[in-house]
Structure 1
Amino acid sequence: MSLSTEVQAVYRALLQHPEWGLADIARSTRLSVDEVRSALDQLTDRSLLHERSESNGGFIPVNPEVALTPALRRLEAELDVRRAHLSRERVALADLAAEYMSLTTGRGSGDIERLTGVESVRVRLTELSQQAESEVRTFVPGGALSPAALAAGRPLDEQNLARGVGIRTVFLESVRNDPATVEYATWLASLGGATRTVPVLPMRMILCDHTAGIVPIDVNDSGQGAFLVRCPSVVAALGELFEMVWERARPLETCVGSGQGDAPTDRERALLRMLCAGLTDEGIARKMGVSLRTVRRHMAALLERLDAQSRFQAGVEAARRGWL
């Protein structure tokens, strides 16, 4: 339907000089003869030119309003049909969305919705992330994610950052030895996101804006699903927890220090806290996202540094030094 600048130039040339031939039009419009011939074909196809039947040939320009109005009316009719279809689709979408919200909200109690199974959590999390307006904050315990999992999350991360939604993620320090996670953190930082690490995390948690949070039903079994929490006071408390952890966490691109002087490292403090809490080596390994062998190696090094013969003695010595 649209006419290029070149085609319009040919039409205007014939309006002023209907007697002109190809060479004249080409010279006036600074187009090649082939370009002029193509423009004449387009004008003829759109009924803007009427070819003379006389022996000398040539073209007669036709009023554009007369020639193009029928085509415009057809386009308007098609648009009216599409608008009507779009309107029906919007109504149907609104009805389905209302029913969806009614049913999903009804499965919970008040401001808490139970999401059964991993897939339900993923679907709901994707919805919340796409609806986020300010920031998505996440705790990721359990060690490094697989390269496939990191790659799968990139499109949504990129989309959110592009529309101004912040992303802050806290991993365990064990991921510093994982090239895929380090590469992901570098990529995220280049787009405006931020990633930090700590020795231990309390649980997996995702906060969307300051209105919704997802926490596991069982911190030791993510397969059971999660709770979607919208209670303002609970979400605020979870947000405070995130900020406290974030403040003492280290940017992933920095190296973990070994401590200075007699001060314990973050890892040593975490080990001591869990030791005093009565956690087994297996429980500590799970919380730190490392192997059981690694926990025992760290524990042996801690006992050696404290010059302790037992874990009880290590706790007493750590308290004496003010490490606890």
Structure 2
Amino acid sequence: MSTDALSVIDWTPTTYGRAAAGGSVDEHLIDVYQYAARAGSLAPNALGTVARDLGLPPRTVFGAVAELVELRLLRADAGPGGVLVPVAPQTAAALLVAPAERAMYRRRDLADRLQERIAALAGPGGQAAHGGAVDVFEGVAEIRGLLKLAADVCRRELVVLRPGHEDEELLDELFESCAGALDCGVESRFVLPHRCRADFAARARVKRLLDYGAQIRTVSLVPQAAAVFDRELAIILSLPTDGGRPTARRVRDADVVGFLVDMVDQLWEGAATFASDEPGYANEVADDLQRAIARLMAQGYTDEVVARRLGMSVRTCRRHIAALLRNLGSVSRFQAGVKAAQHFTIQDAQGASAG
């Protein structure tokens, strides 16, 4: 990054200075940032003009520019003029917070490992007392940092359960933090819902995972969002549907982690392999999806509940239900559900006999 602009305003960067640590935002910072956003850039040798336009003392504008640079909301352009250009708030937050998050989680992980060693020295009682502990994390930033740290130290195997969810962007943002393990060539398995096969955006995300070498299979219903690292650490996610804060539970207990891995292995055995060149649903996938819809319809669930359980939109779910009604010649949803459940049960029995 060019430092010409910074030298003109006589400012030296401090990674965690007053701007980074402060809790309140000066109105002058907002005025100067909005001015820069409107203008597209600020020339350091023309800050006097900015001061006149805003009706502020030059010293105030110089101080605001320095803090905006420190907050990563302004950056020095690499061009010959060395002007300062505005940065999107989301990008600035990521640039400023990421190093602090990484340092925080490394310290936390070190503390956990020290506790484990001390508990081991204390004997079986001490080991069991710590091993049964579950740490709870709240908020996107904390969970993202937790997953990233776990992925960075993962060396043998990564297993991910990725259900369908109303807030797809939130789920993708969290699991994107596991990319470090894929970058290192760690063997990775992802269990996803069938619906990701028919959604264009979801297929694009899955294709990227395949390009990284991940193995992917799909099932009708993924019961829980979770990731398991090296069969030693599990992170179980709880994602709200009412706009609340997501939570994560970090578990190191060998029995709980082993149970989760066994559950994933069972899902994996019965899941359908995802092929990037496969258009939409294959026959076995379509049948499995219809079985799941039929079971939920037979229990009297509404379209909204069926869609939520299977991680698809209500509109898509109703399209599948309409197809079932037509194929089975049913009058009511409940009748279709019962007929479909009986139909698939007979099919399964015939298939088992033939095998």
Sort the TM-score into its range (normalised by shorter chain).
0.5 to 0.7
The SS at the match of 1:195 is strand
Q: Give the AA of the match of 2:343.
A: R
Q: In the TM superposition, what whole-angstrom CA distance separates every residue of 1:74-133 from its partner, at most 9, and x where no partner exists?
A: xxxxxxxxxxxxxxxxxxx9988644667999xx98331111222221111111111112
When normalised by structure 1's length, the TM-score is 0.57
Partner residue in 1 for 2:310: 288
Match of 1:121 in 2: 143
Alignment match, 1:268: 290
Aligned partner letter, 2:252: R
1:196 and 2:217 correspond: yes
Alignment-mate amino acid for residue 170 of structure 1: V
Cα distance in 1, alignment partners of residues 139 and 133 from structure 2 = 19
Q: How does 1:1-324 map to 2 (within 5 A)?
A: 98-99=110-111, 110-142=132-164, 145-146=168-169, 149=172, 153=176, 157=179, 159-217=180-238, 220=241, 223-247=245-269, 248-253=271-276, 254-257=278-281, 259=283, 265-323=287-345
Change (3 A) 1:98 1:280: same
Q: 1:265 to 1:150 in 2, by over 3 A?
A: same
CA-to-aligned-CA distance 1:167-211 (integer Å, 9 cap, x gap): 222222322344444334334333321223333211211111211
* Structure 1: gaps (5+ residues): 1-92
CA distance in 1, matches of 2:107, 2:141: 24
Q: Secondary structure of 1:308's partner?
A: coil
Asked if structure 1 preserves the Cα contact closer than 8 Å seen for 2:194 and 2:220, the reply is yes
Relative to structure 1, is the Cα distance of residues 267 and 185 closer, same or farther in structure 2, using a 3 angstrom cutoff? Answer: same
Sequence identity of aligned pairs in percent? Answer: 29
Which has the higher mean CA deviation after the structures are superposed, 230-239 or 161-170?
161-170
Other structure's SS at 1:323 match: helix
Deviation of 1:236 (Å): 1.4
Residue 24 of structure 2 corresponds to which residue in structure 1?
none
For residues 94 and 299 of structure 1, the distance between their equivalents in structure 2, rounded to whole angstroms, comes to 49
Q: Distance in 1 between matches of 2:108 and 2:316?
A: 51
Bigger mean CA deviation after superposition, 125-134 or 143-152: 143-152
SS in 2 for 1:142: coil
What CA distance in whole angstroms lies between the structure 1 residues aligned with 2:146 and 2:171?
20
Q: Normalising by structure 2, report the TM-score.
A: 0.53
For the pair shown, the structure with the greater C-alpha radius of gyration is 1
Separation of aligned partners in 2, 1:138 and 1:227: 15
Say if 1:293 and 1:179 are closer, same or farther in 2 by CA, change over 3 A: closer
Distance 1:96 1:264 in 2: 45
Q: Is the Cα–Cα contact under 8 Å of residues 168 and 194 in structure 1 kept in the other structure?
A: yes
SS of 2:164 mapped into structure 1: coil
Change (3 A) 1:138 1:97: closer
Partner Cα separation in structure 1 for residue 140 and residue 202 of structure 2: 22
